Amino acid sequence: MLHIENLAAEIDGKLILNGISLTVPRGEVHAIMGPNGSGKSTLAYVLSGRDGYTVTGGTATFNGQDLLAMEPEARAAAGLFLAFQYPVELPGVGNANFLRTARNAQHRLRGEPELDAVQFLKLARAELKKLSMSDDMLRRNVNVGFSGGEKKRNEVLQMAILRPEFALLDETDSGLDIDALKIVAEGVNALRGPNFSALVITHYQRLLDYIAPDCVHVLAGGRIIRSGGPELALELEANGYVGMVADAA
């Protein structure tokens, strides 16, 4: 599903990703853990197509398509979803309008019929109910005046409504209390299945208590220095990054 090979990228001439290779097969959830400054967020942004990063080498393919050649909106329509570490506020844009516009834009890019207002509202209300969120969420402006937890819940709501095949979670657990963390995890777990994959980027093991990964990778210095099963996360939690990074060096 997602296949990254030798990916190198820099920002403002500074090399951040230094030859990452990683494959996430269909139906699997992988975690990427790493210390601050290891390139975790850069990887998420490069994969989702944010401006300002220069790919200097390697490839990334998504269902066989050259991901790096696609516009961000085309990546979304192809089924990629980035849950932001810091969700962006959009004053003057209502959440319902935002969600419906996004869903229909993806339908249009895929050549599928669009949802009308009634169909969309029905769908949105059903998803809100599943996530135990209030309808009020739809009436507010996107993320404006939301608490940190509400912003992350809104990311999960977007994910539920956009139904991606692949979710990239960029430190979605940062700044969350345990209740919000559980809601986020439930949102991801609800999508799990043979046709859904995710790459969970996190600094702490905590989130992985709720989203059990099939595989854990450790990122340091812009490279993956170790890969293993869920037990790798526990080892990091017990021993910290320092020893592992030193071993790899």
Binding site for another protein (CB under 8 A): 48-51, 71-73, 75-77, 81-82, 84, 87-93, 98, 101-103, 105-106, 109, 158, 162
Nearer to another protein, 77 or 208 (CB): 77
Nearer to another protein, 18 or 143 (CB): 143
- Minimal distance, residue 161 CB to another protein, in Å: 10
Beta bridge partners of 54: 10
- Minimal distance, residue 141 CB to another protein, in Å: 8
Nearer to another protein, 98 or 204 (CB): 98
- Minimal distance, residue 137 CB to another protein, in Å: 16
Question: What is the b/e burial string over 155-194, where b = at least 16 CB atoms within 10 angstroms of the residue's CB?
Answer: bbbbbbbbebbbbbbbbbbeebeeebbebbbebbeebbee
Nearer to another protein, 51 or 231 (CB): 51
In a 3-state reduction of DSSP, which class is residue 172? Answer: coil
- Minimal distance, residue 97 CB to another protein, in Å: 8
Nearest to 17 by CA among 8, 25, 26, 30: 8
Helix residue ranges, H only, the chain: 40-48, 72-77, 95-109, 117-130, 136-139, 148-162, 178-191, 231-239, 241-248
C-beta atoms surrounding 68 within 10 Å: 18
Nearer to another protein, 98 or 210 (CB): 98
- Minimal distance, residue 75 CB to another protein, in Å: 8
Please state, in angstroms and rounded to a whole number, the distance separating the CA atoms of residues 46 and 199.
Answer: 14
